[in-house]
């Protein structure tokens, strides 16, 4: 079996600027790059308000940002015939762990449709993300049945 890669992108400007694919499938595994809360035109959804030093002043947009990030991941998964049911691992990179834990526990249950999503999950506090208004970024790994998806 070859290691042929299939890729998917969302068409946002930073794909070209940074030079990467939003998602890559090799065999039965789909790797989804860190997703942000942007709409189809690349505009950030629920951007955090920044202080005079360019840092978020509060984390109330966390829930909206997480929700939109899952919406974007679902679009990418669909490019490979996959859904959130195929996700086996996710990593949330956040600027504020307590607000992400509260918002994430609600949104994750909503998105996966169960109170205990069968997904290995990591929640990691970081000092900055790609855009100052972003307070969360989520990467995903999914495994599909290649025979069924073909």
Question: What confidence score (pLDDT) does residue 101 get?
Answer: 96
Cα–Cα dist 93/128, whole Å: 9
Q: Could you state, in chain order, the average pLDDT of each consecutive group of 10 residues for the chain (150 residues)?
A: 82 82 95 94 94 96 98 97 98 97 96 97 96 97 79
Question: What confidence score (pLDDT) does residue 147 get?
Answer: 74
CB atoms within 10 A of CB 46: 18
Which of 32, 33, 56 has the alpha carbon at shortest distance from 128?
A: 56
Which domains, and CATH codes, for the chain?
5-149 (3.30.1330.40)
Which of 139, 146, 134 has the alpha carbon at shortest distance from 72?
A: 139
Question: What confidence score (pLDDT) does residue 55 get?
Answer: 95
Question: What confidence score (pLDDT) does residue 148 get?
Answer: 58
DSSP 49-84: PB-TTS-BS--TTHHHHHHHHHHHHHHHHHTTT--G
Which of 146, 143, 136 has the alpha carbon at shortest distance from 98?
A: 136
Question: What confidence score (pLDDT) does residue 60 get?
Answer: 96
Question: What confidence score (pLDDT) does residue 19 get?
Answer: 84
Question: What confidence score (pLDDT) does residue 118 get?
Answer: 96
87-94 and 120-125 as β-strands: parallel, antiparallel, unpaired? parallel
Residue 129, SS3 per DSSP: coil
Cα–Cα dist 47/65, whole Å: 8
């Amino acid at each position: 079996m070859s290691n042929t890669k299939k890729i998917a992108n969302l068409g946002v400007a930073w794909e070209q600027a940074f030079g990467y694919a939003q998602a890559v499938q090799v065999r039965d595994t789909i790797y989804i790059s860190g997703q942000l809360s942007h709409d189809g035109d690349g505009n950030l959804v629920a951007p955090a308000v920044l202080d005079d030093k360019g840092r978020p002043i509060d984390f109330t947009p966390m829930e909206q940002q997480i929700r939109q990030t899952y919406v974007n991941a679902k679009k990418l998964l669909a490019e490979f015939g996959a859904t959130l049911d195929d996700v086996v691992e996710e990593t949330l990179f956040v600027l504020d762990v307590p607000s992400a834990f509260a918002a994430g526990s609600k949104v994750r249950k909503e998105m996966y449709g169960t109170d205990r999503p069968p997904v290995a999950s990591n929640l990691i506090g970081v000092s900055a993300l790609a855009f100052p208004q972003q307070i969360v970024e989520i990467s995903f790994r999914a495994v599909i049945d290649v025979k069924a998806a073909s």
